Amino acid sequence: MNEGVRSYSTIEIAKRLGISLQTVQRWVDSGRLKAWKTPGGHRRIDAHSAELLFKAHEQTTGSGAAPDLGAAAEARPLQVVIVDDDAMDRELMSTLVQAALPHAQLRVAGNGFQGLVMIAKLAPDIVVTDVHMPHMDGFEMIRNVLADAQTRPKLMIAVSAKSPRELADFGQLPSEVLLLRKPLEREAFVAALRRT
């Protein structure tokens, strides 16, 4: 980091989080990270904005170090990420994922921002997300995830206790996203997970 200017480059952010440079650039372009361009056209990320991102990353992973993702994709087990701000719902969905996909590697995040960082880093096969969460809702997180071909999951499931009419007030989910109602019907959730 350049201490004089108090900013980070996109490369520094990508290396620190273990994510692609394109993902960081997209976050800057969408306003997710506060940044500016130098006269030479390079993006510089505000230190405070970057530190918030690093803190969310450390809370998600439990460490500041990015995992080694060098293993071939074919050799890795199925990766599943659950994003929900309700601890009981996270626990229920985690239990159902472990029962339906016992060999899958499961990660959980408590909000959309943590989920987005986790998904950018892991490129999971399945993402399950609540639609309404604080800080970054599921709609925004889903749009960000689906916009990146490198992290686009094979299956994305959105869950919500809202009625279809209430959901429509917030916008439409992309057609490739499967919407399930809360409280979850266990059989329907397990059947959806086993589609992959």
pLDDT tens over the chain, length 196 residues? 444 558 888 888 888 887 877 778 777 877 777 888 878 777 888 888 788 777 776 765 555 444 443 433 445 789 999 999 999 999 999 999 999 999 999 999 999 888 988 999 899 999 999 998 887 788 888 988 998 888 899 999 999 988 878 888 877 888 899 999 999 999 999 999 988 7
Q: Give the model's pLDDT for residue 189.
A: 94
For the chain, helix, strand, coil in percent to 5 are 45, 20, 40
pLDDT attached to residue 187? 93
How confident is the model at residue 154, as a pLDDT? 94
State the residue for tokens 């589609």. Answer: 195
Q: Say how far apart CA 7 and CA 5 lie, in whole Å.
A: 6
Query: How many Å apart are CA 78 and CA 117, to the nearest integer?
Result: 18
**What is the maximal distance between C-alpha atoms in the chain?**
57
pLDDT of 67: 42
Q: CA–CA separation, 135 vs 157, rounded Å?
A: 20
Residue 46 DSSP SS3: strand
Q: Bridge partners of 156?
A: 127, 177
Identify the structural domains of the chain with CATH numbers, from first to last: 7-61 (1.10.1660.10), 75-193 (3.40.50.2300)
Pair 144, 30: CB distance under 8 Å: yes
> Which secondary structure element, helix H or strand E, spans residue 129, and what is its range?
strand 126-130
Contact 74, 59 (CB under 8 A): no
